[in-house]
Structure 1
Amino acid sequence: MLKVAIFDEEHEKDLQTEINSFLKGISEEQLIDIKYTVSAACDPDGEQLYCFSALILYRK
């Protein structure tokens, strides 16, 4: 059975920590793919906001 796990963090290091923690729980054979994206926007005050996201496709 194929499954996905989705992660979304405001900081790259937090995303890295979450992904590494998840990957410890599955074998290399179970991992199929990782998709990564970064989004940026400005709030009304002009402050930049970032969203670091990853989708992990794996076999259960």
Structure 2
Amino acid sequence: MIQVKLFDQEHEKDLEFEMNRFLERLDEQKLVDIKYNVAAMPEEEEEEQIYCFTAMIIYRA
């Protein structure tokens, strides 16, 4: 059976850490694919941007 694990973090290093923790427990033979996305949105009240780093690991259970 194919399954997915979703990750969503505000900082890329946090995303990297969480994904690596998950991948440590996953047999490499079960890994199918990894999808990655970054979204940036302006913060309404400040002159900064909000970043959203997301990833999906597709694997065989």
* Structure 1 spans left out of the alignment, 5+ residues: none
Partner of 1:32: 32
Question: What TM-score comes out, normalization by structure 1 length?
Answer: 0.96
After TM superposition, the structure 1 = structure 2 runs for residues 1-60 of structure 1, keeping only pairs within 5 Å, are 1-44=1-44, 45-60=46-61
Higher helix share: 2
CA root-mean-square deviation: 0.6
* Structure 2 spans left out of the alignment, 5+ residues: none
Cα deviation, residue 47, structure 1: 1.5
Question: What TM-score comes out, normalization by structure 2 length?
Answer: 0.94
Q: Percent identity?
A: 52
Structure 1 residue runs of 4+, over 4 Å off? Answer: none
Cα deviation, residue 46, structure 1: 2.3
Question: When the two structures are aligned, how many residues end up with a matched partner?
Answer: 60
The residue type equivalent to 1:48 in the other structure is: Q
